[in-house]
Each structure stands twice: as structure tokens, then as C-alpha cells.
Amino acid sequence: MKPSDRRTAEGILYTDQYQLTMAQLYYRMGLHEKWAQFDYFFRSYPNYGSHRAGYCINAGLEWLVDWMQEARFREEDLAYLRGQVGRTGRRLFGDDFLDWLRENGHFGAISMRAIPEGRVVHPNVPLVVVRGPLAMAQILETPLLNHLNYQTLIATKAARIHEIGRGRTLLEFGLRRAQERAALAGARAALIGGADFTSNVGISHVLGYPPKGTHAHSMVQIFMALGEGELGAFRAYAEVYPDDCLLLVDTINTLESGVPNAIRVFEELRRKGHEPVGIRLDSGDLAYLSIQAARMLDEAGFPNTVIVLSNQLDELVIWEIITQIQKEAPRYGVDPDRLINRLVYGVGTRLITSEGAPALDGVYKLVAVRDGGEWVPAIKISETPEKTLNPGDKRVWRLYDRRGKATADLLSLQDEDPRQMEQVVLRHPTDHTAYRVLARSDISEVEPLLVDVLQEGRLVYEFPPLEEIRRLRQADMERLDAGVKRIINPHVYHVSLTEKLWNLKQEVIRNVKRET
């Protein structure tokens, strides 16, 4: 795509056609500037097939707001809409509506509250609350979902991999197999969720992170084709990068050729006063090979070199590698914990695409509309009860138990504050028989989760640097129950409604059923 085309495709037209036809309909009906409120939330944790998440890591907000601040209907965009015709050849969009878009076709009237990036989040909790004139709040739906769904998906996957890898260095390697430009948002989200570095140079530059990498098989192949072999390739690498020498040892045969050649070059380096960094294994039985390589490196006097593992890694594969090392390393005289602590994980495809669950089911739903000075709660009733909305303007609270662990997220009405309650009733969102009562003394902290981000288009929130977002994630992970963090069959974290919100929901449902 040409750069000018890309600017068009990523501008205000980065939305679905029906948002524009609905916006015009609202305009015609005089509803376009009626105030409306939409909640963004996801319905279920990513389910990877054989395993699933018990939490998500919130991400994507800053880039969404960046997009909103740039996007507006330019003359070129309006000209395109002017040229659209319907089935009978008549223009689809009228000049009056296009004139309105020319003046008002931006997000300068939108207010937004949101849960900060990096926070642990759960289903059916509003992560972003949008309030604004109906037409523009409607057009925002698609780009909002596009920006938020993917980053939260990837931050979540990265957090799982980070957790299972015992917090050892995690490298994001996915650019080549990413879903095209998703590589950029994906790398950022991976860093939020738990990756420590990415191989992606451009995004590292933008985010202020040093990019990381080793070398490819092709480098060894080149030297082989020129008759200098793997050893020649390794020597060249050591010569050019004497203090950053990390060698890929599996081009020919890991244990017969790669590791012995690497050790030889490491010895040469050391004689010149440089310490090698380590080796990378990219094929074969990574647990077995890392044990053998560790043994060889130890014996050769390089016990402090790292061993980078790559090749279709994800949380299950890493879990299995660690399990196998714990079981098998002692039989070869290798201390399993020492070995595990020298591992570094290079994770590509399965992180950047969230393999098994390549989309988060985030939705953006109308929850209230202002009519005659009053906010009217809106609802969509579904034949699946879990899909019935929680209506109205809500607040979101996180309750921590006496141990300081998060025990529930609580949705309340705007005028409620659980910090003032003697006891807190936690209603199940759909099952009227299921509720929990917590005495205030059982709750160590009640934390409001939503912060103001935009007030009528004005940014009132300071986006924290990535390091701060990572700290938020780490702090939230520490306050999450171990059972919720399990990578298979996690505990179900409670997302509950206050008694008042529950009652409102029932009332709105009754009203709708009565009317239809």
C-alpha cells in the first residue's frame, strides 16, 4: 500500500460502513447529538483450546487515544463518501450530513473513563466507558475495538508466558510471523504483559527499548557455502561482537558441531579478555539439548553463559521444558535450578498471534442514552443470559481480602461507594440465587479502577511510560490468587454487581419484556 493510501485507510475511515450509515440515520432523526454512553468490555478470557486464561492484562489505551486525537473527516474522506451510491445508483450520504461531519466529524466531544494499561482485568467489567454525542460515539466503536482487543489479547499471552518462565528474560521475536502490521501493537503489548525486549527494531526505537537479537542460520550457511564452515562463522561473529557474542548452535548439529565450535570461540574470546554471552538453541528437543549444552559449557568453564531457547515456544512448551529439565538434569550432573535460571526464552509466532485464541471477544455496547435531561439505561437482552448487558452508568471497584489478594471486581451504580458500606453484597451478574456478603472488616482495600482519560476531547490523563505500566502489571499479578493464575483450569475470579445495580438490571429487563 502506498503511504498516502495508508494514511487514508488508517484515518477516520478506519471503521465499518454501517457506523457511517447509522450516523447519518441518527442525523436525519435528530438523534446525532443526543448523548449516549457505551461500555467496552470483553465477555470471556482467551481460551487456547487445551488451556485458558483466568485473567487478562489491559493494554492498548494510549494508542487508541493517539488515533482518536488525529482522526477526523478530511475533505478527501468526505469526497469519498459523497461518491458512494446505493443499489439504485442514488447517493448514499447527503450533503447536509457531510457538512455536519466536516464540522463535527472528530472526537473532540467525547469523554472517556478507563482502567489504566497494565492492570489485571476480567470479563464483563467496563474497561473503557465512552460518553458523547451519539453519531461520533457510534463511529468510534470499530476503531476502539480494533485498538483494544488485540493489545489486551497479546499482553495476556505474554503475562502467561512470563509467569510460567519464572520471570526469566523473555524476548518477543514475532515480527516475521505476525499478522502484518499487528507486529507493532503486538510487540508493545508483549512488553506490557511480560516480555523484556523485542527483536523488532522500529518499535524498540519508538518505545525506547534496546532491541535484542542473535544471528540467523543463514549467516552460518553463508560461511559454509564459502568454505569457512560453522567455526568460521562463529569466529567472525566473535570478532565483530566480542562483548555481545551469542551464537546459534543448531545449524548443522547442536551437540556434535555447534556447541563444541561455540566453546572453542568462547575460549579464544576469553583469551582476548572478553566474556561470551551464550548460545541459542532453535530446534530439536530443547530440554535435552539445553541440559547437554549446559553440561558442556560448565565443563569448559563457561557456567555463566545464557542459553536462549526458541522455536514454537508458548506457555505449555516452556512448562514442559522446565518440567523435563527438573526431572532429567540431575541424571547428567546438571543442577536443574541453575540451568533454568540461565535460560532465556525467545517467543515468536505463538505470542504475537495468541495462537489458539487469536481474538479477544471485546464488545462496545450502548448502556445509557440521555433523553429530556435524564439518563435512560439501555439494555440488550440475549437468549444467552450471560450476554445480557449490565445497563447504566457504572463504577468499577476492586476488593482485596485480608491477605491483600484481589477477591472480586464489583460493578456499582454511579452514586454508590462500597468504601462507605458496612457490608458489601456481591451479586452474581445473572444467577439470582448466587451472592456473597463481605463484612467491611474482611476487606483490606476497596480500589476504584476507572480513571478519567478524556473530558470532551481534552486529554486529562498522563499516559505513564511503559516501565510504569509494567510495574502496574507486576503489582497486580502479585495481588492475584495463585489459583487464578493457573495456566490450565484457573479459578474463576468473581465479577459481581451491587444490590442496587442488580435491581436496576432486573427492572430494565422487565421494562423491555413488557414493551415487546
Site for its own copies in 224-283 (CB under 8 A): 224-226, 229-230, 236-237, 239-241, 243-244, 251-253, 256-257, 277, 283
What is the Cα–Cα distance from 351 to 190, expressed in whole angstroms?
8
By CB under 8 A, residue 383 contacts its own copies:
yes
By CB under 8 A, residue 58 contacts its own copies:
no
Residue closer to its own copies (CB basis): 141 or 416: 141
What is the Cα–Cα distance from 268 to 274, expressed in whole angstroms?
9
- Binding segment toward its own copies, per CB under 8 A, in 141-149, 412-420, 481-489, 490-498: 141-149
Question: With contact defined as beta carbons under 8 Å apart, do 367 and 38 qualify?
Answer: yes
What is the Cα–Cα distance from 367 to 501, expressed in whole angstroms?
13
Q: In the set 98, 110, 125, 145, which binds its own copies (CB under 8 A)?
A: 145
Residue closer to its own copies (CB basis): 90 or 271: 90
What is the Cα–Cα distance from 206 to 209, expressed in whole angstroms?
8
What is the Cα–Cα distance from 270 to 302, expressed in whole angstroms?
10
CB of 336 to its own copies, least distance (A): 25
What is the Cα–Cα distance from 157 to 349, expressed in whole angstroms?
12
CB of 482 to its own copies, least distance (A): 30
Q: In the set 111, 124, 214, 496, which binds its own copies (CB under 8 A)?
A: 214
Residue 301, C-beta contacts closer than 8 angstroms, at least 6 positions apart:
none
Residue closer to its own copies (CB basis): 39 or 476: 39
- Binding segment toward its own copies, per CB under 8 A, in 120-128, 291-299, 353-361, 428-436: 353-361
CB of 384 to its own copies, least distance (A): 8
CB of 465 to its own copies, least distance (A): 14
Q: Which residues pair with 35 in a beta bridge?
A: 133
Q: In the set 381, 446, 459, 466, which binds its own copies (CB under 8 A)?
A: 381
Residue closer to its own copies (CB basis): 404 or 465: 465
Residue 506, C-beta contacts closer than 8 angstroms, at least 6 positions apart:
none
CB of 162 to its own copies, least distance (A): 20
Residue 252, C-beta contacts closer than 8 angstroms, at least 6 positions apart:
220, 230, 258
By CB under 8 A, residue 458 contacts its own copies:
no
427: Cα separation from own chain's centroid: 28
By CB under 8 A, residue 359 contacts its own copies:
yes
By CB under 8 A, residue 108 contacts its own copies:
no
Residues 216-242: b if buried by 16+ CB within 10 A, e if exposed: eeebbeebbeeeeebbbbbbbbbeebe
Q: Interaction with its own copies in 115-134: which residues (CB under 8 A)?
A: 134
CB of 360 to its own copies, least distance (A): 8
CB of 344 to its own copies, least distance (A): 14
By CB under 8 A, residue 385 contacts its own copies:
no
Q: In the set 44, 92, 102, 400, which binds its own copies (CB under 8 A)?
A: 92
The values of phi and psi at residue 315, to 5°, are -65, -35
**Which of these, 463, 421, 460, lies nearest to 440 by C-alpha position?**
421
Q: Interaction with its own copies in 394-453: which residues (CB under 8 A)?
A: none
Tell me the residue type at 241. Y
**Which of these, 246, 252, 218, lies nearest to 234 by C-alpha position?**
246
Q: Interaction with its own copies in 483-512: which residues (CB under 8 A)?
A: 512
3-class state of residue 197 by DSSP = strand
| # residues contacting its own copies (CB under 8 A) | 128
What is the Cα–Cα distance from 235 to 219, expressed in whole angstroms?
12
- Binding segment toward its own copies, per CB under 8 A, in 103-111, 122-130, 347-355, 464-472: 347-355
Q: In the set 66, 99, 320, 431, which binds its own copies (CB under 8 A)?
A: 66
Residue 347, C-beta contacts closer than 8 angstroms, at least 6 positions apart:
161, 170, 171, 172, 173, 174, 195, 310, 313, 314
What is the Cα–Cα distance from 466 to 397, expressed in whole angstroms?
24
By CB under 8 A, residue 49 contacts its own copies:
yes
DSSP for residue 425: E
Q: In the set 33, 268, 328, 355, which binds its own copies (CB under 8 A)?
A: 355
Residue closer to its own copies (CB basis): 365 or 395: 365
Angle in degrees, 0-180, between the axes of helices 61-70 and 141-164, rounded to the nearest 10: 160
Question: With contact defined as beta carbons under 8 Å apart, do 294 and 342 qualify?
Answer: yes
CB of 256 to its own copies, least distance (A): 8
By CB under 8 A, residue 462 contacts its own copies:
no
Q: Interaction with its own copies in 172-201: which residues (CB under 8 A)?
A: 173, 175-186, 199-201
Residue 166, C-beta contacts closer than 8 angstroms, at least 6 positions apart:
322, 340, 341
By CB under 8 A, residue 216 contacts its own copies:
yes
Q: In the set 131, 168, 365, 427, which binds its own copies (CB under 8 A)?
A: 365
**CB neighbours of residue 423 within 10 Å:** 12
Q: In the set 35, 80, 435, 463, which binds its own copies (CB under 8 A)?
A: 80
Q: Interaction with its own copies in 5-24: which residues (CB under 8 A)?
A: 5-11, 13-22, 24
